[in-house]
């Protein structure tokens, strides 16, 4: 199943039945959960509550950002990440621990008696997103529609030929839109495989309508194992999700705005 969700979030899905009871996971290898949070929704008084969901190490890191906007989006992303894990797994919000892999990808240390949880975070100006599944590689990317980006130059330097041509042929606001459709899909993929930007972005190309990937080296990876989705979390944002799954027909993805009241409730204990 491949799906493009550019409008409103779906109202049904496995996340719509409320959070997991303690120890009763509502997510397994055939589910992926995605939340996004726009910073505009968060009132001044709520920031302390969200920050209280972080562990000490994360709070210390948040204090090191020079700009408020970077600090706040970091707090929102990591509070939401902890919240999504607790919502789906029914464990305490501060119990989650992470290690960092070779290319900088944080991986969850799955607690005993829990499946291998996989999570990925993305943030951009004013918006954070988190994606969670079990076992499979997962990556998410959000981007703000930055009006002054050098789309032709970046596409010429970094994209595959078919993608470059699509960007070059587009006019007006469509140029930025198609550029960021490619960019978010490509980032979601390189984040899912954990290589980040150490993976050359011209080694694979997307069909942004069919949501299919093709690899320059046919032995590099198997397109049949990848599921992609695209979203528009707000008028100024694009988001993409990449999940590796051996049987995509079985994969159920639930993507929606994070329930802020649930996150704030976690802070109230
Ligand atoms: C990972 C990377 C693609 C992030 O891109 P970005 O659009 O700037 O940032 P996003 O907001 O989408 O994602 C950032 C989050 O991804 C996660 N992340 C970091 N490295 C990652 C990796 N290799 N794979 C997957 N996820 C990664 C982190 O959770 C990070 O958030 P945090 O620092 O708050 O924990 C990019 O920074 C990267 O490739 N870094 C690796 C180092 C590298 O190769 N640098 C070359 C620079 S040209």
214/201 Cα distance (integer angstroms) = 12
The confidence band for 9, taking pLDDT boundaries of 50, 70 and 90, is low
Percent of the chain at pLDDT > 70 equals 96
41/175 Cα distance (integer angstroms) = 29
181/230 Cα distance (integer angstroms) = 8
Mutate to test the pocket of ligand 1, among 106, 128, 188 (most ligand atoms within 8 A of CB): 106
- What pLDDT was estimated at residue 215? 98
Domains of the chain by start residue, with CATH: 3-7+21-268 (3.90.470.20)
2 has a pLDDT exceeding 50: no
**How do residues 17-45 score in pLDDT, each as one tens digit?**
999 999 899 999 999 999 999 999 999 99
SS3 track for 132-171: EEECCCEEEEEEECCCCCCHHHHHHHHCCHHHHHHHHHCC
**How do residues 186-215 score in pLDDT, each as one tens digit?**
999 999 999 999 999 999 999 999 999 999
Helix (H, G, I), strand (E, B) or coil at 34: strand
Q: What are phi and psi of 175, to 5 degrees?
A: -65, -50
The number of residues in the chain equals 269
Mean pLDDT value across the chain: 94
* pTM of the predicted structure, to 2 decimals: 0.95
Mutate to test the pocket of ligand 1, among 121, 136, 142, 241 (most ligand atoms within 8 A of CB): 121
- What pLDDT was estimated at residue 5? 59
7 has a pLDDT exceeding 60: no
> Which of 196, 188, 207, 193 has its CA nearest to residue 255?
188
256/130 Cα distance (integer angstroms) = 11
135-160 average pLDDT score = 94
Q: Which residues line ligand 1 (CB under 6 A)?
A: 74, 77, 103-106, 120-123, 141, 187, 190-191, 194, 196-198
16 has a pLDDT exceeding 80: yes
**How do residues 74-116 score in pLDDT, each as one tens digit?**
999 999 999 999 999 999 999 999 999 889 999 999 888 888 9
Q: What are phi and psi of 216, to 5 degrees?
A: -60, -45
1/20 Cα distance (integer angstroms) = 26
14/178 Cα distance (integer angstroms) = 31
Closest protein CA for atom 40 of ligand 1: 196
8 has a pLDDT exceeding 60: no
Determine how β-strand 237-244 pairs with β-strand 138-144: antiparallel
CA distances in angstroms from 53 to 41, 72, 111, listed in the order given? 18, 13, 18
Q: How many Å lie between the centroid of ligand 1 and the Cα of residue 123?
A: 10
């Amino acid at each position: 199943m491949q799906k493009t969700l550019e409008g409103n979030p779906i109202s049904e899905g496995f996340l719509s039945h409320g959070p997991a009871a303690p120890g009763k996971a509502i997510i397994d290898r055939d589910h992926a959960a995605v939340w996004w949070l726009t910073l505009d929704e968060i009132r001044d008084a709520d920031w302390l509550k969200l920050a209280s969901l972080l562990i000490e190490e994360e709070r210390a890191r948040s204090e090191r950002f020079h700009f408020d906007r970077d600090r706040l989006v970091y707090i929102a992303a990591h509070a939401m990440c902890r919240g999504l894990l607790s919502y789906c797994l029914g464990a305490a919000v501060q119990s989650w621990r992470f290690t960092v892999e070779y290319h900088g990808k944080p991986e969850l240390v799955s607690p005993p008696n829990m499946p291998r949880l996989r999570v990925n975070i993305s943030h951009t100006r004013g918006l954070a997103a988190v994606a969670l599944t079990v076992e499979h590689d997962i990556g998410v990317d959000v981007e703000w529609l930055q009006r002054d980006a050098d789309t032709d130059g970046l596409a010429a330097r970094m994209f595959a030929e078919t993608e470059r041509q699509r960007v070059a042929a587009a006019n007006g606001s469509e140029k930025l839109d198609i550029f960021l459709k490619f960019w978010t899909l490509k980032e979601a993929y390189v984040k899912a495989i954990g290589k980040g930007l150490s993976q050359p972005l011209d080694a694979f190309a997307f069909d942004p309508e069919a949501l299919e990937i093709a690899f320059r080296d046919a032995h590099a990876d198997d397109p049949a194992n990848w599921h992609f989705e695209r979203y528009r979390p707000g008028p100024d944002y694009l988001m993409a999700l990449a999940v590796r799954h051996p049987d995509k027909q079985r994969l159920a993805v639930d993507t929606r705005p994070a329930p802020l009241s649930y996150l704030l409730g976690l802070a109230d204990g």
